Structure 1
């Protein structure tokens, strides 16, 4: 009897243990989403003076490392994989670009992606060319073609669905079969859900605003990766309930998004930027199919030598180094310039040209004034090679960034960078910020500006908008993507800044965090702004006047992207990542002023103690 009782007690205990295990929450597991985009068939590390990263051999090596660390990893490329076009820095001609693309796609096959988005860039060489690569996992959820509408990767404990949206520019390439994304996306999401997908990723070739609109109306998407060109940095934000970010140009870095999933719900997330630096080394299999160079730009720089690519694009291609003569360069600068980075550019030039003879002259000296007048230089610094530079061994590698003048070659401003605006009245203690309502601008930027303005009350921080008047339609304005919803946002911001200037930064911080179409009223209320008054302003002559005033600087200086800053109406610079307050002060005030700020802070600390 006692033994029987013991058995009953033991069984009860075991049953209790089993019951407890069944009721306990599942242990969280991790899924890694590794992504690239905007690669433009970039085979080699960039020859940059700062962070010379990238290259498919390094990428392959890093993919192998990530795979070995966990089986629960998904690899995707968000479009713009093929060579050619304005965004492709290494584009040469049709033959060279198509050959480079062939090598790149072969490398992708060896690397082993789970999904590759078909964007309009993928049709650079036509439909017939792309259809040769049916072995690669190309996807498009809104195009008819050989590719699949989506991919499902089964990790055993969870399925990951991957969708892809092709941009409308594909129709301009003469490709048929494109459908409006909004007509199909909800259907595709439902199909993935029915197939058991627990996480859904959307690879997008659309504009950020189009993505926002879609994620607001179509629920169930967890992650959006935008591979469109020129949409700023990779900042993790939320749009319509989905995690949203863009990609690094030329795939110089890998994005690694780690999602922690518990009971089928994402409970935590982390985004890492993995540099493809020289420390990684290269994968031998991928490296063996890549020619050493397609042009001299692909070769590593050796100080004091000219680099030349022999047999470009062929398997026997090689980089050779030639000792050149010394190059002369004249630099025209302002006497005082806080944002000029002359030494940085000279260092970059010397990495390719070797030791140079550099002569610096100030813009108010007679020689400089004469050059500026004859050549029509509008901004400084200006970098000029003598006309006999065209006989140098370096000239073929540099001619694409040079403009020929009277007796000299000027490095194009878009390549050298400019900081100082000539013939413009200086207005001390002013700071203009120019921006659009797009993914390149983040709430953190306005948060930093708010702290800056509160700390430096003597500086007038002025809001300017990235739009210009439409010359053909009086009273209308144009923006880069011709997006009416963005124009509507900018009209509201112009009225807010005109009527409630002290509340503008608070509104912008809120609005760029909550950018859905129905959340504007929420941010107006949170910023203590009368919504009815703003709504009335937007459609009134007062609103038209506000918009004109807030876009005047953009038009005058022909600013094409943001965020861009103009200091004292005379110096201009742009940012990609949001700088820290200290970094921003260093640029705005110059190093000397920054040191004074530090000293003043130290004195105050001493007094307090």
Structure 2
């Protein structure tokens, strides 16, 4: 019975003394109030939600901002100007106070807005700032926090242009000795020093320091590692996540285990409404763009009355409104994938304003999309800048993006059809037969143009060259051979077909070897480039109306030819 009693006493003692401590840390946040980066992570309101959950879950917790909290430095992506950067820093510190941060460290970046401003915000804030080697009024050279039975000492080394390691080393030794005398059993060093110096400190003072949280910049990308028993950890840039380390202690207060954890502040995390009410909705249009994922104007910026107002850009589109085959709406939908705030306004090319714009901006094809030049100031512009060409005070969409339906300066050639295609285009055979038929019935001249890719398959290249040779040498037999060949373009029975049609294989081979075929293909390539055609099946009618053909009916082709008649120069206004 006595042994059992002693066992219970021993077990009770273990639970009394065996403790856990969770250190939650951020740093190098540079007063980032809102989600940012490619995946829109971070934001002080999401951080507030997670910290609230952690405080409810963890018994012993210390929350630290390790340094680099101020806006305005070289590393601050959202720096605007001194006045706005100062305001953002003040709002950020107010938020940290609401979040019950235990300790705020300093870093070189916190002097970016001037030492006097830093002293001012420290003096006005009720947060606890620590700076061991660089004394500023209002800061503490060290801080001690008692969490349950664990006595935590916190120091902070700040890097400056006048930094001297020998002097700093002496200061560090003195305060580590002081913490030891005060019976501190867990020491955290907030270090703004280089990575190599942090490694040196860990090796030199490993028995007196348990954790180094580094806000210094260096070549090491590892954000959690152990060096001679000392954990060296780095916070995430701009507060895009919360990092923490949970320590376990034995009955004698010695660390027996430590586990690292990171919580990414992604969009799934709800915003804390209380914190949201004490910070401005925006400081700049960029903040609004990141928030709404579309260009917007930041109104009443940097105040609690700030809000984002969506921005629209007027885009003038010149086209032929009577053309049922013209499809600028396809381009419109494509552009909306990049930004939804386009306000498209359509002009008929015969209208007075359209004629003025066509002349001013030297527009040669329709449809023409004309954008205001201030789109270049928007954050989304670099993603789509290659779509445009600059013309005076406007941006015009390049023809390869807008597409081409009408050539305004090409000479009108009555009753002519040019068909551009690749030999493997879908439904080429029935379409070719239909166009040949309508050309004969309506009295149109039909010209065929073969499209070859830059890296073409060998059998397509050879077949195209044969077709060109047959077209020159045996024009009356060309379509008969071509139609039969298209029934199975991948087969190798072309030799039999040539013999069946009564054509000379040797004569065709010699013609292909002639420079004429190469010159012809080069000429065709230049024509396609001039017309902006890079794929089939495309039809050019009367040398000025260009359309992509996708399973048209005979009636559709008739309407297309009828429409193209009206484009004759002198009849288009």
Relative to the length of structure 1, the TM-score reads 0.51
Whether 1:282 aligns to 2:274 is no
Distance in 2 separating the partners of 1:349 and 1:161:
56
Residue in 2 that maps onto 1:150: 142
Whether 1:163 aligns to 2:155 is yes
Whether 1:324 aligns to 2:306 is no
After TM superposition, the structure 1 = structure 2 runs for residues 132-281 of structure 1, keeping only pairs within 5 Å, are 132=120, 133-134=122-123, 135-146=126-137, 147-169=139-161, 171=162, 180-219=167-206, 220-229=208-217, 233=221, 235-263=223-251, 264-281=253-270
Q: 2:194 touches 2:217 (CA, 8 Å); kept in 1?
A: no
C-alpha displacement at 1:217, in angstroms?
1.4
Please point out which of 20, 23, 26 is paired with 1:33.
23
Alignment CA distance shift 1:396-1:390 (3 Å): farther
Distance in 2 separating the partners of 1:240 and 1:324:
60
Alignment CA distance shift 1:245-1:390 (3 Å): farther
CA deviations over 1:390-426 (Å, ceiling 9, x no partner) = 714452546899999x9669xxxxxxxxxxxxxxxxx
C-alpha displacement at 1:202, in angstroms?
1.0
Q: 2:315 touches 2:369 (CA, 8 Å); kept in 1?
A: no
Residue in 2 that maps onto 1:395: 377
Structure 2 unaligned blocks of 5 or more: 318-333, 344-367, 392-573
Distance in 1 separating the partners of 2:390 and 2:197:
46
C-alpha displacement at 1:162, in angstroms?
1.3
SS in 1 for 2:213: strand
CA deviations over 1:338-362 (Å, ceiling 9, x no partner) = xxxxxxxxx9995557799xxxxxx
SS in 2 for 1:197: coil
Distance in 1 separating the partners of 2:102 and 2:166:
24
Q: 2:316 touches 2:369 (CA, 8 Å); kept in 1?
A: no
C-alpha displacement at 1:273, in angstroms?
1.0
Residue in 1 that maps onto 2:56: 68
Distance in 2 separating the partners of 1:115 and 1:40:
16
Q: 2:212 touches 2:232 (CA, 8 Å); kept in 1?
A: yes
Distance in 2 separating the partners of 1:137 and 1:119:
15
C-alpha displacement at 1:25, in angstroms?
8.6
After TM superposition, the structure 1 = structure 2 runs for residues 114-513 of structure 1, keeping only pairs within 5 Å, are 114-132=102-120, 133-134=122-123, 135-146=126-137, 147-169=139-161, 171=162, 180-219=167-206, 220-229=208-217, 233=221, 235-263=223-251, 264-301=253-290, 305-325=294-314, 391-393=373-375, 395-397=377-379
Distance in 2 separating the partners of 1:104 and 1:254:
16
Largest Rg, 1 or 2: 2
RMSD of equivalent CA atoms: 3.8
Relative to the length of structure 2, the TM-score reads 0.54
CA deviations over 1:427-479 (Å, ceiling 9, x no partner) = xxxxxxxxxxxxxxxxxxxxxxxxxxxxxxxxxxxxxxxxxxxxxxxxxxxxx
C-alpha displacement at 1:105, in angstroms?
1.2
Structure 1 unaligned blocks of 5 or more: 1-9, 329-346, 357-385, 410-609
C-alpha displacement at 1:222, in angstroms?
0.8
Distance in 1 separating the partners of 2:293 and 2:96:
36
What number of residue pairs does the alignment pair up? 345
Residue in 2 that maps onto 1:586: none
Distance in 2 separating the partners of 1:218 and 1:304:
48
SS in 2 for 1:59: helix
Q: 2:42 touches 2:240 (CA, 8 Å); kept in 1?
A: yes
Alignment CA distance shift 1:20-1:70 (3 Å): closer
